[in-house]
Amino acid sequence: MIEQIKTWVQNLLAKWFAKPIPAVEEQPSDPAPKPKRKYTSHKEDRANFSELLDGIESTFESYKFPTLQSESWLDKDSIIGLKKLGAYVPNPWVMPDPYHEGDYKVEDVKVLPAIMCVSLGYKAYAKEEDDKMPAKFMFAIKHKKLPWNVAYKTGTPYLFGMAYEWRGKLVWLHMYMTVNRHSGRVEMCDELRDITNVIPSKSVASKHANGQASVIKRRQWGAAPLLYGTLDNDVEKTKQLYKGMFCTMLEWWVKRDERWNVIVKHNGDRLSFGVPNNMTKQYFKDRDKTIKTANGQSKKIVHYVKEHQRINENSVSKVKEHIRGLHDFNWKGYQVQVVSPKLERKTSAGFTPGATNMEDMNPQETSNVVYLSKLGKMLADFEERKAYK
């Protein structure tokens, strides 16, 4: 028995050593590293978002300033209409170059909005120590024709101006400009102004007849008063600055229809800003991942879902682009409504009828007038109407 076991072990060892030794592949001394996933920086996005939040808070602060109506050139009804419509907070913020050479032109003259109002309330751009009257809002109101005291220019007329802060109150100043419907060129209009000349009396007879000085009043055409007092009273440079600001505002306003329209309300005041399709999550990322509904449930904010394929166990289905998440919610004390014009509805940027001066109308025509104060509220309600399924 022992001999049999001995023979079995010997045969097993013989078979084992008879097997060929498997070849070992030569390994490289420094294996190639796996390709790393390309990192996409969101530093600029976060900077833009921070700037946007600053603009939102500053705009609501600017709403608190009352209007100094006695010094404002814009009538009270128009001011109410602009506030009810609400200012648009631009993002990113871009200021035109006042030393730009050549004409400023509107790229697309097919859509010239009826009314625009943009916030200039950024703390970084409206420091009172840098400017005794910082601009808080910029606005434009389209007209059918220029008034009698404004020099004629070919094109669509706009009443363009800004609201400046002065001693805790807003002063609304304006001028007229036109947009050529063929070339898109922006032109400033001269205005008929009252000029007062004071001529000191030299002779005794002149002093006896007219006092110490003679006051002569006359009217003459000249650059709009709003063009003075900026950029060292250089009227031509100020014209370039305002032309660039108008074109920038028009571009911001029209492109609202290409972005998500975010409407924010606080203490009865209203503003809006735009977010690109692919950045809705990013803009609210640093706040709350989810929003508490009225029932106490947590729900993600609204976002856009691209068209994609859904792979099931035995089939593949196509999912069309759609909107998901909460559209209306309270966010840090602000009442927010997020709207996607791409899939649901447009903003008021496409509303284009021009205004008519009351003094140019017959008494019979005034019965059907929609004042700007009412129009601003109507356009705001239009943007906020419920259109979700």
Per-residue pLDDT reduced to its tens digit, 327-382? 777 777 788 888 876 666 678 888 988 888 777 766 666 667 888 999 999 999 98
pLDDT for the residue 107: 85
- Round to whole Å and give the CA distance between 87 and 82: 8
Q: Is the pLDDT of residue 254 over 50?
A: yes
- Round to whole Å and give the CA distance between 72 and 69: 5
State the average pLDDT over residues 21-43.
Answer: 51
Lowest mean pLDDT among 3-17, 231-245, 251-265, 332-346: 3-17
Q: What percent of the chain has a predicted confidence (pLDDT) above 70?
A: 67
Which has more confidence, 192 or 15?
192
Q: Specify the amino acid at residue 2.
A: I
Burial class (CB in 10 A: 0-12, 13-18, 19+), 187: middle
State the average pLDDT over residues 65-83.
Answer: 93
Q: Is the pLDDT of residue 19 over 60?
A: no
Closest CA to 108 of 224, 254, 238: 254
pLDDT for the residue 287: 46
Look-up: residue for tokens 């419509």? 85
Closest CA to 228 of 239, 214, 220, 216: 239
Write down the pTM of the prediction. Answer: 0.76
Q: What are phi and psi of 304, to 5 degrees?
A: -100, 130
Q: Tell me which range, 16-30, 38-52, 322-336, is most confidently predicted by mean pLDDT.
A: 322-336
Contacts 24+ apart (CB under 8 A), 300-304: 300/324, 300/325, 300/326, 301/325, 301/326, 301/329, 301/338, 302/326, 302/327, 302/338, 302/340, 304/260, 304/277, 304/278, 304/280, 304/340, 304/342, 304/343
Which has more confidence, 296 or 70?
70
pLDDT band at 24 (very low <50, low <70, confident <90, very high): very low
pLDDT for the residue 310: 82
CB atoms within 10 A of CB 123: 13
Q: H/E element holding 280?
A: helix 280-285
- Round to whole Å and give the CA distance between 277 and 103: 33
- Round to whole Å and give the CA distance between 191 and 189: 6
pLDDT band at 32 (very low <50, low <70, confident <90, very high): low
Q: Is the pLDDT of residue 389 over 60?
A: no
Q: What is the mean pLDDT of the chain?
A: 77
Which has more confidence, 40 or 346?
346
Q: Specify the amino acid at residue 269.
A: D
pLDDT band at 216 (very low <50, low <70, confident <90, very high): confident
Beta bridge partners, 120, equal none
DSSP letter at 54 equals H
Q: Is the pLDDT of residue 220 over 70?
A: yes
Please enumerate in sequence order all residues whose Cβ is within 8 A of that of 55, keeping only pairs 6 or more positions apart, or say none.
89, 90, 91, 93, 119, 121, 122, 273
Burial class (CB in 10 A: 0-12, 13-18, 19+), 36: exposed
pLDDT for the residue 20: 44
